[in-house]
Amino acid sequence: MQSRFRSDRRLTVRMTVTLFLLGLLYVGFVAALIVLLKSWLLVVVLVGAMFVAQFWFSDRIAMFAMRGRVVEREEYPELHAVVDRLCAIADMPKPVVAVSEMDMPNAFATGRNPDHAVVCVTTGLLRRLEPAELEGVLAHELSHVAHKDVAVITVASFLGVIAGLIVRFAFYSQIFGGGRRDQNTAAVFAAVIGVSAAVYAISFLLIRALSRYRELAADRAAAHLTGRPSALASALTKVSGEIARIPTKDLRTAQAFNAFYFTPATGKEPGIERFFSTHPSLEQRLEQLGRISAELGEAATPGKAG
């Protein structure tokens, strides 16, 4: 079913190209592992099983990692009311609503399609945002579900996850069992590490480029759906400022899921590392919302809800 979120052809093209390139990389990666390990059955079964597990259980994995739990309307009536209203306006299925008991103000959406999606907010976000700001954040997350880019990011990140796991396993294996290999085994071992590292690096860059664009697309869609880009700008400014005050050690466990968050759990605006960031800069996002506000004729200033 087509939602009323503004369609984004450029996002669709980017998702298609990214998946195509990652698909080629995936085929090459599996072929290289089969040649190096000389066991196509082992490689196909292991990689296939992990892909199915990540795709079908990505929402549960993310919820478990971020300590999220499904909440009913009786427990969080205002949160459910906002999601109900936005889903009615957008003409899309209502996702499962969840809350994470974290002080870090943030939100994320996950799930393989609009009919099997979860939108989760932290208690830190609920405590800090005004109703209009919360509506903007939830509209942003729902647009990810409607555009299906949550599922694309989940699938796209799979290859990098596998390659990263292989490199990590090989590293620890080298430390704890390096003395028990002959020269030929060591050469195969090194080749597997090299191929995995290259695949991880390429998939990392492709996913980051798509992730930054999809965040801008979600901001645009949310601003047009609610008609209040200034409220979303206010939420962005507030959440980014609050995250910057949270100790870095408390953000580390959350940073693995930065690609799914409304705002990255970095605690600071990136410098040169912005090229490797999952999100565009705060300035880029506020500038875009300012333009949309002018288009809609809304009297707004970034950082102040209208």
Binding residues: 140, 144, 215
Q: Determine which helix (DSSP H) or strand (DSSP E) holds 7, and give its type and residue range.
A: none
Among residues 231, 243, 209, 208, the alpha carbon closest in space to that of 138 is found at: 231
In angstroms, the CA 118 to CA 99 distance is 10
79 φ/ψ angles, rounded to the nearest 5 degrees:
-65, -45
> What secondary structure letter does DSSP report for 265?
T
Q: Which two tokens stand for residue 43?
A: 């490689």
What dihedral angle (degrees, nearest 10) is formed by the CA atoms of 230, 107, 156, 255?
110
Which of these is catalytic: 75, 78, 135, 141? 141
Residue numbers in the known binding site for Zn(2+) are 140, 144, 215
Contact assessment for residue 236 and residue 139, using Cβ atoms and an 8 Å cutoff: no
In angstroms, the CA 63 to CA 71 distance is 12
Among residues 1, 32, 53, 18, the alpha carbon closest in space to that of 214 is found at: 18
Is there a catalytic annotation at residue 141? yes
117 φ/ψ angles, rounded to the nearest 5 degrees:
-120, 155
In angstroms, the CA 261 to CA 176 distance is 36
Q: Which two tokens stand for residue 150?
A: 């949550």
Please identify every residue annotated as catalytic: 141
